[in-house]
Amino acid sequence: METLSPVTLGTTILVAYGIAVAVRPALKRRFVLAAPVENQPRRQFTLEMVLCLAVGCAVGLYNTLVHDFYLVSALSLLSGCLFIGFFMGLDMALARERGAIHLALEKNANTRPPRRYYPLTRKFSLVAFSTILLICMVLALVIARDFAWLADAQNDPAALKTAERTVMLEVVFIMAVLLAIVVNLILSYSRNLKLLFNNETRVLEQVSRGNLDQLVPVATRDEFGVIAGHTNTMIEGLRHRTELIHSLQLADEVQHNLLPRKAFSHPAAEVAGTSRYCTDTGGDYYDHFPLPAGKLGVVVADSSGHGVSSAIHMTSTRAYLRAGLPTYSDAPSLARQINAFLVGDSQQTGWFITLFWLEIDPAKRRLTWIRAGHEPALLYEPQSDRFRELTGEGVVLGAVPNPRLPTSQLDNWKPGTIIVLTTDGVRETLNLKNEMFGLKRLKKAIRSQAQRPAQEIVQAVIRSLEDFRRPGTQQDDITLVVIKLR
């Protein structure tokens, strides 16, 4: 290389790089831009390295064949091209990655976690090791050449002094160039990290405000890409949960609209009730209906299970019950008609309904009821301070095609008599000591408010339940209906 004039060597290198620059756009379109966005930075680095090495090999081979280049000089030239290609490839790859990030932000196309994962630590380690190796190689070549130069000039003091000054300036220049290259790479990579970090935090800030419309584009295959992908999975899960909560709230609103809105006054009785679900929706149901001949019907039912499925089952039961009321003749016929539909609905699922139906006949002062596997009703006569349970046999609805549903009745009720219909969630309410609310406490709450209207008795019993349960949580649906006979 020393025998070749700088002009000749420079011209050869410039021509080779000119050819590389000329073919680079076509290779870039075919090799880089045609690849998926996440693969483009790696391919950009490979393209720059290959072009620089091709230039080094072509110039070294040409000068070896034409100008009798020494092999050592050709290897030195190839090492220089490798050094340039490595740092140029890194810079261009980072620029390509930056473009991919901007493109991903604009199109918001790829939001899935990367299939293949390349840790940042592996990238940093590989780049750092390669950088140190190349810098050591360049310094070794420069120092070896300078030592040979100093050895040749040691017999001439003036030439030696000039050589020392030149070597010092050369080392300072090389170190300045290396420092500038490394600082440029650090700044370029920092810009990429800033883009990724800002986009991630921007979307998370929107999520913290309740905005789930945006996703984080996945533009890299490192930790940022994995975090972005799993952030998107989280956002989609939150969307689904929000939609589910909204649907449950709507279902809860619809279900509560199916229940009586306020206390009901009838010539035979005053009726008030409430349902409290342990989830957004539940399987408890109560209602009251005017019946032929001035009678009054009151029903309390409880579907097996909890939640949405139980609520759907109960809504179907309500529809079957109301559909049978226009042709109502007696309670067993109505219950069997409901059961026929429920058996068809429940034979594959095992769902069933417990039901207590009470018919109040003010003309005959008669109570008639059926108890299809439900809790017994509680009757209280304030005049005699006496409680009794309205019991009876009966099979749950939806379990067998032809259930046995015998009726029971009570004649000549006393004015002011209170009848309380509940689901099992009332008596089985637990406190932190795992004690049940039970029948005794229920009777006490009813007795203490017996002179109050039906609505106030309901409120008093619910307060007693909540005071007993606190600070525990409600574990079962609670329905309570109070009937105060006139």
Tokens of 67: 């100008």
Residues 141 and 275 in one domain: no
Cβ-proximal residues to 135 (8 Å cutoff; 6+ apart), any chain:
178
pLDDT, average across residues 243-247: 70
Residue 421 pLDDT exceeds 90: yes
Which residues are 284's β-sheet partners? 302
In a domain, 238, yes or no: no
Residues 151 and 79 in one domain: yes
What residues make up the domain containing 49?
6-232
Residues 198 and 303 in one domain: no
Residues 107 and 216 in one domain: yes
Residues 149 and 85 in one domain: yes
> pLDDT higher for 370 or 261?
370
Model pLDDT, residue 163: 65
Model pLDDT, residue 139: 73
Residues 42 and 189 in one domain: yes
> Which tens digit of pLDDT belongs to each residue from 198-237?
888 888 888 888 888 888 877 777 888 788 888 888 888 8
Residue 461 pLDDT exceeds 60: yes
140/181 Cα distance (integer angstroms)? 18
User: 367 pLDDT band (50/70/90 cuts)?
Assistant: very high
Measured CA to CA in angstroms, residue 200 lies from 105, 166, 186, 203, 204 at distances of: 11, 51, 21, 5, 6
3-state secondary structure of 483: strand
Residue 371 pLDDT exceeds 80: yes
Supply the CATH number for residue 315's domain: 3.60.40.10
Residues 220 and 343 in one domain: no
In a domain, 429, yes or no: yes
What's the pTM value of the predicted model, to 2 decimals? 0.58
144/140 Cα distance (integer angstroms)? 6
> pLDDT higher for 383 or 165?
383
In a domain, 245, yes or no: no
- What mean pLDDT, rounded, does the chain reach? 81
In a domain, 158, yes or no: yes
Residue 417 pLDDT exceeds 70: yes
* Domains held by the chain: number: 2
In a domain, 328, yes or no: yes
Residues 160 and 273 in one domain: no
Measured CA to CA in angstroms, residue 474 lies from 39, 426, 478 at distances of: 55, 10, 9
Model pLDDT, residue 481: 92
Residues 302 and 421 in one domain: yes
pLDDT, average across residues 299-327: 82
Residues 36 and 130 in one domain: yes
3-state secondary structure of 52: helix
411/418 Cα distance (integer angstroms)? 14
Model pLDDT, residue 150: 60
> Which tens digit of pLDDT belongs to each residue from 131-167?
788 777 777 776 666 666 666 666 667 666 776 677 6
In a domain, 315, yes or no: yes
Residues 338 and 193 in one domain: no
pLDDT, average across residues 243-269: 69
Residue 69 pLDDT exceeds 90: no
Model pLDDT, residue 431: 87
In a domain, 243, yes or no: no
Residue 1 pLDDT exceeds 60: no
> Which tens digit of pLDDT belongs to each residue from 333-352?
888 888 888 887 776 667 78
Model pLDDT, residue 109: 61
In a domain, 457, yes or no: yes
pLDDT, average across residues 102-124: 71
